[in-house]
Chains A and B, each alone.
Chain A
Amino acid sequence: MMLKTTTALAAPTRRGFLAGAAAGGLALGLGLNNRVQAAEPKKGGTLRVGYTQGSTSDSLDPATYANDFMFATSYAVFSTLVEIAPDGTAQPDLAESYEATPDARVWTFRLRDDATFSDGKRVSAADVVSSIRHHMGPESKSGVKPLLAQIKDIRADGDNVVTFELEDGNADFPFIFNDYHLTIRQDTNGAIDPESRIGTGGYVIEAFEPGVRIELKRRDDYWKAGRAHFDKVVLLKVGDPAARMNALMTGEVDLIDRPDLKTIHLLKRNSNVKIHTQNGTLHYTMPMHVTAAPFDDVNVRLALKHAIDREAIVQKVLKGYGTVGNDHPIASSMPFYNAELEQHAYDPDKAKHYLSKAGLSSLDATLHTADAAFNGAVDASVLFSEAAKGAGINLKVAREPDDGYWSNVWLQKPFCCSYWGGRPTPDLMFSAGYAATADWNDTLWKNERFNQLLAEGRSQLDQALRAEIYGEMQQLCQTDGGALIPAFGQYVSAMNTKIQTPEHVSEMWDLDSVRFIERWWMA
């Protein structure tokens, strides 16, 4: 049940994550494995959703969003400057266009003329400035605060233009504004009212009972054409997986997230239900502290990377709803994915070879784990331990309590299980978890070349050059980095066959990157 974690621009949450879904093998690219829907979107109907997460402690304050329930609400009721399109690019949303100076240091966003709040007021540059400032400054407790630290100055130039001046150039800067935290609210005297329900999104709130349900109604005067098709939307928190699946089978809800993969085959028997899978950026990791013995020797790290049976973890823990990882965090559906890297595979002889290179004949290590890291982490750890025996590695599995896992184990123990929800671009992913200065650098890895490339790639607007830079960074992560990344999970959801999705959906996060409420419709 429950909890909790925002990751700036990251994953819909850490806890109780059910591994994602879909046909094994290689990712087919954005949305190609989703059923092609020929039908045109149609207005009408009520969408009822059974959602895993949602808590009594939820509030509308965008700085505190901590679970899928609030992310979905946020995108339905409010809007962001930019949205990630199904092809993975950052498209203007509340903004009409954006542009950068050649050094990617000053960014100018021009706002749309026709975007209005649900009370009829037009969106102004002052609203944008106050909404972004809400997540900055010493008093802010927002999860995106570290990402916004690069902003030196925000200015409203007139009523329609907002200018951001950054510390250093950042070619991926617009992607940040897709984050569900950074929705635009009304400005009152230089600040926003965080509890205000007035938004620019396609829906208004009719009833909100935190941790239980929210009822949304479509705005008739929504300014965005071709979006927001359902008349009404009801999000229900249904924490128990069996209850969620039962509710879908009996038709009490139309859509559920995270069906139990162990019993998903029973859902398939119902002809009114279809399974939806997305190859996301969600991945499971086992970070090693590269500063702690024995992981400070790169050969030990490589030995462990060859002592894990990735295929077995995908098949047995993820029930086939995933793909093998290659020890770097870039998903095949992301821009600048390096397809030429050799795939790390289970190879006890190679693992032994690296051990002997490290001057060892056998190795004792402890892997700290809990299902709080990801659903199935304990099973995956035990599988790893068994496979590692073949390479002369004695891997002890230390089971930790779920409660407090993120404060007591992750970032604290030298070798543990974790997950990342992924980021839209390599720069954002690497900056969040792999840069020498990152707060969440969970491997304490400080590779000079890597960090130099990171800085180089960030201010570079030439796409070919960036592909080269990020390609090399993935290779450095794989061969030198401290993160063992055994698998990428797929996002799995199940829905009534009446629910229609566009031909291509955005795969970064679950359910069309959590924008399903305004993008999907009912046949």
Chain B
Amino acid sequence: MPPLMKLILSRLALAAVTLLAVSALMFVGIELLPGDLAQQILGQSATPETLAAFRAELGLDQPAHLRYLDWLAAAAQGDFGNSMASHRPVADLLSTRLANTMFLACYAAVIAVPMAILLGLLSALWRNSLFDRSVNVGALGAISMPEFFVAYLLVLFLSIRLGWFPTLARIDEAASFGDALYRSFLPALTLILVVIAHMMRMTRAAIINLLAAPYIEMARLKGVPRWRVIVLHALPNALAPIINVVALNLAYLIVGVVVVEVVFSYPGLGQLLVDAVASRDFPVVQAVGLFFAGTYITLNVLADILSILSNPRLRHAR
């Protein structure tokens, strides 16, 4: 399928350029923030003398563009360097946090995506019924509340009042898989409530849109049952927009969970990024930022490819 290959390759090349631009923007952003790592760590106790000693140790006395190019050269070879603050390799810092973030994102996605699509299909099937209306009201209600508020409500009812789940989502290497699922249930549920509405509403809208098409009418006239019309005739043609929305929400589950991490003290990437920005720890910010940007780009490319595969018309160049 040469045109598809070509498309993928050109997308990957664009992704590389985007990542480069993102890394440059992040560097400039950190440079624009007041103070540097030495100042942030020493804080109120900083004196010109200790600052100079600290900066020399970190290489912060070098001009900004040289520091960026040094970093870029190493990063291009896969070496993301050491955290300036803790001197630990960035790769080490990232690995446990990344595993935690991916665990939570997958946990939420595995429940949220099938549920959203199923609810979307059902509400399209029973359009304007009581079921349709209550699902819509529920989902829109959940998405309308800020996620920290949803999180606090869950904590109030499910852990303080009922005592079913822990308020701190502590994940450590000693916890078994089942334990980890139990401890991180509340943050996962918060995320599910926050993302489900978007995907559900898009599924419903895309399918209802198609139901007015002539071929659907034809199928109906031939006496095909309503659920078959929706699942076999409408859904395949509605996949493109649904895939796009799912990809967008998956990306959000990975990169947008800082607030949820804070409420449940969940040791994920978001907290690492906040700490790193606060201490101006440039190598860590870059690595986390690039990972987030990469996630968005990958999921979007994937969504494009899947939409093309789902629509034969897009597969062939005109």
A211 at the interface (CB under 8 A from B): yes
By a CB distance below 8 angstroms, the chain A residues around B262 are 1, 239-240, 243
Residue of A nearest to B38 (CB): A141
The answer to whether B272 and A408 touch across the interface, beta carbons within 8 angstroms, is no
Residue of A nearest to B159 (CB): A250
The answer to whether B43 and A57 touch across the interface, beta carbons within 8 angstroms, is no
B155 at the interface (CB under 8 A from A): yes
The answer to whether A14 and B44 touch across the interface, beta carbons within 8 angstroms, is yes
By a CB distance below 8 angstroms, the chain A residues around B167 are 243, 246-247, 250, 252
A359 at the interface (CB under 8 A from B): no
B68 at the interface (CB under 8 A from A): no
> In the complex, how many residues of chain A place their beta carbon closer than 8 angstroms to a beta carbon of chain B?
55
Shortest Cβ distance from residue B167 to the other chain A in the assembled complex, whole angstroms: 4
Stretch at the interface among A142-150, A291-299, A457-465: A142-150
A490 to B47, CA, bound (A): 29
Binding site for B on A (CB under 8 A): 1-8, 10, 13-14, 50, 55-59, 64, 66, 138-143, 145-146, 195, 207, 209-213, 236-240, 242-243, 246-247, 249-250, 252-253, 403-404, 406-408, 410, 439-440
Residue of B nearest to A419 (CB): B44
Top-3 shortest CB links A-B: A5-B43, A404-B34, A57-B85
B298 at the interface (CB under 8 A from A): no
A272 to B45, CA, bound (A): 39
By a CB distance below 8 angstroms, the chain A residues around B279 are 2-4, 55, 57
Pick from A1, A5, A7, A250: contact of B274, CB under 8 Å: A1
Shortest Cβ distance from residue B229 to the other chain A in the assembled complex, whole angstroms: 48
A-B contact pairs, 6 of them (CB 8 A): A4-B40, A10-B44, A14-B44, A246-B159, A246-B167, A250-B166
By a CB distance below 8 angstroms, the chain A residues around B272 are 56, 211
The answer to whether A238 and B168 touch across the interface, beta carbons within 8 angstroms, is yes
The answer to whether B275 and A55 touch across the interface, beta carbons within 8 angstroms, is yes
A47 to B95, CA, bound (A): 29
Given A209-B267, A213-B172, A243-B262; A250-B43 close (CB under 8 Å): no
B265 at the interface (CB under 8 A from A): yes
The answer to whether A6 and B42 touch across the interface, beta carbons within 8 angstroms, is yes
The answer to whether A238 and B87 touch across the interface, beta carbons within 8 angstroms, is no
By a CB distance below 8 angstroms, the chain A residues around B284 are 56
The answer to whether A406 and B275 touch across the interface, beta carbons within 8 angstroms, is no
> In the complex, how many residues of chain B place their beta carbon closer than 8 angstroms to a beta carbon of chain A?
48
A8 to B40, CA, bound (A): 15
Given A238-B265, A246-B167; A3-B40 close (CB under 8 Å): yes
B278 at the interface (CB under 8 A from A): yes
By a CB distance below 8 angstroms, the chain A residues around B45 are 5-8, 10, 143, 146, 440
Shortest Cβ distance from residue B144 to the other chain A in the assembled complex, whole angstroms: 21
A337 to B124, CA, bound (A): 77
Shortest Cβ distance from residue A440 to the other chain B in the assembled complex, whole angstroms: 7
A142 to B46, CA, bound (A): 9
Shortest Cβ distance from residue B202 to the other chain A in the assembled complex, whole angstroms: 32
The answer to whether A2 and B263 touch across the interface, beta carbons within 8 angstroms, is no
The answer to whether B85 and A140 touch across the interface, beta carbons within 8 angstroms, is no
10 other contacts beyond A210-B86, A213-B170, A246-B167, with CB at 8 A cut-off? Answer: A1-B274, A6-B44, A10-B45, A55-B279, A66-B43, A145-B50, A209-B267, A247-B167, A250-B166, A440-B45
A236 to B155, CA, bound (A): 19
Shortest Cβ distance from residue A205 to the other chain B in the assembled complex, whole angstroms: 14
Given A240-B265, A242-B152, A407-B39; A440-B44 close (CB under 8 Å): yes
The answer to whether B57 and A141 touch across the interface, beta carbons within 8 angstroms, is yes
Pick from B38, B93, B168, B276: contact of A252, CB under 8 Å: B168
A50 to B33, CA, bound (A): 30
Given A57-B85, A138-B53; A4-B41 close (CB under 8 Å): yes
The answer to whether B168 and A57 touch across the interface, beta carbons within 8 angstroms, is no
B17 at the interface (CB under 8 A from A): no
A56 to B96, CA, bound (A): 12
A404 to B93, CA, bound (A): 25
By a CB distance below 8 angstroms, the chain A residues around B83 are 56-57
A310 to B111, CA, bound (A): 55
Pick from B43, B86, B274, B276: contact of A58, CB under 8 Å: B86
Interface flags, B122-163, vs A, CB<8A=1, else 0 = 000000000000000000000000000000100100011001
Shortest Cβ distance from residue A138 to the other chain B in the assembled complex, whole angstroms: 6
